[in-house]
Structure formats: structure tokens, C-alpha cells
A and B are shown apart, each in its own frame.
Chain A
Amino acid sequence: MAIDVRIPTILRSYTGGAKAVSGAGDNLAELLTNLDGSYPGLRGRLITPEGGLHRFVNIYVNDEDVRFLGSLDAKISDGDTVTILPAVAGGAFGLAAAAAVLGR
């Protein structure tokens, strides 16, 4: 048994195009370290240099966002599915801030 990990389109360059890969670990941090051994660079797209979960991604254990499960400490068991998705976010804040600075 292993952990089934679903890879989003934008990160498939790290997995040779694979949509799903297998990994191992008792928690998310261990899983990502394990995956980085097979797919170098993948972990760096998910974890910030400070060691936290990147805000540009959502990671789920089965149906639950890991942010509700202790983030990198989220427990994982054989047979679980871990899904990685790009966080979809944005908005006019950057533009509004620029407009304020320019006095428009």
C-alpha cells in the first residue's frame, strides 16, 4: 500500500507528465520529502523557503484541506489520497493599491 498523490497540470513537468504518483510517509512533510526524492524540485513548489505551505497551492488529504488538519503535520495513512491543486485566487487589490498611490 502507498499514498496516491494527484498532481495538477502545472506541476506535471516534475513527474514526467504523470497525473498521479505514489509516495510514502506518516505525515504531509514526510510525504513531500519522499516525493522530492523521486521528483526533484516538486517539494520546492509546495513549501516556502521558510518551511510553510505555499499560499499558491491547496493540498488535501482525502476530502479535507490540510490547512484544517495541521498543515505539514497532517497525518497520512496508506491508502489515503493526497490531492494537490493550484489555489485559484487574485483580484484587483494590486491595481487598487497602485491607483491609490498614483492618486487616481
Chain B
Amino acid sequence: MAVRAWARVGRLVAVLTIHREIIEAIVAHARRDHPDEACGVVAGPVGSDAPLRHIPMENAERSTTFYRFDSTEQLRVWREMDDRDEEPVVIYHSHTATEPYPSRTDVSYAGEPNAHYLLVSTRDEHTAEIRSFRIVDGQVSEEPVQLVDESMDPMRSIEKSGDPHAVQSFMFGQSPATVDYECQH
């Protein structure tokens, strides 16, 4: 019996599918700004759930325990996305001394119900930890992260091809005890 996991948000399957190169660029950004928290966006076409355009943002707080998008930069980036019919598919930030799990502050600020909230921990200098969450109405649901290789572009054709070697599926960290699963037969 096939069991598929659906996010509470309804329209989307509870998984983040993202190019490996983008994840590597996000980790590199987080390493560069360590021990301050790094933050940014991956934009994609509205409704596509495909994070394609990596936009590193300034952490206006320049803090080891807090981040905030610079409001002027955010307006510029959000307008640019609007002009290109894009939306923030992924909003990411790093935790530099703790686990990559949303803090109460993260949950209270989560204001993009369609976004995947990606957290990177750089607490270990050799291995970065990455986990992805949906945060809707204060409810946190973890989801797996599927890394796709750029050479296999486009993503959509990989999903259709069903080639088990085309997509590697990773769940970083522990099992998603907080994910709300609904089974489909």
C-alpha cells in the first residue's frame, strides 16, 4: 500500500524538492556569515512549489541568535518577485549554535503560509544540518527534503520519470514526529 504524506496546507505534498546546487549555495552562505545567522529566500514561479532562484539577504540584526530581513531590501526583493510572477517558495535562515528546528521566535514571525521554512545549523564545522518545515497558524510540521541534481533538470520530468536514481530523498535530523500525515490508498 502506498502511503503519501500531504501537508495540512492542502495543495502541496509535504516535501521540499530543491536543487542540490541551491542547498550547497545556502550552506555556503550560512558558513560565510557564521557565527552570525544568515538568511535568504529561494523564489519560484507562483503556484509551482519549485524553488529556483536563490536570493541571499542581509541579516539586518547581524546577530548570532536573531535575524531580520532588512525591510528596504525585502521590499525590493518582494516587488521583483511580484514583477516576475514569483513567490518566496523557501525562506531560510541558520542557527549557528543550536539545532535546525524552529524556535518560538521563528514560529511567531512565520508570515508566508505557502513557504517552506528551511533551517540550516552550522554548529558543527564539518557537517551542516538541514531541515525543512511548514509553519501555518503557529503549527510546525516537518517535511523531508529531496535533493535534485542540476544536470537532471527539469525537476518536473524527474518526478514523472520515476527513476529511483534521479532523486535522492533525505530526511535530515530525527524522524518527523510533528508531521501530520493523512494516508491515501
Contacts and interface: CB of A to CB of B under 8 A. Distances in A.
A58 interface: yes
Interface of A is mostly: mixed
A50 interface: no
Interface residues of B, number: 39
A89 B63 CA distance: 12
B69 A89 contact: yes
Contacts, number: 102
Interface string A80-104: 0001011111111111100100000
Interface of A: 8-10, 56-58, 60, 63, 65, 67, 83, 85-96, 99
22 contacts: A10-B111, A10-B112, A56-B108, A58-B71, A58-B74, A60-B71, A63-B72, A65-B75, A83-B79, A87-B69, A87-B109, A88-B91, A89-B66, A90-B66, A91-B65, A91-B67, A91-B93, A92-B65, A92-B103, A93-B66, A93-B103, A95-B99
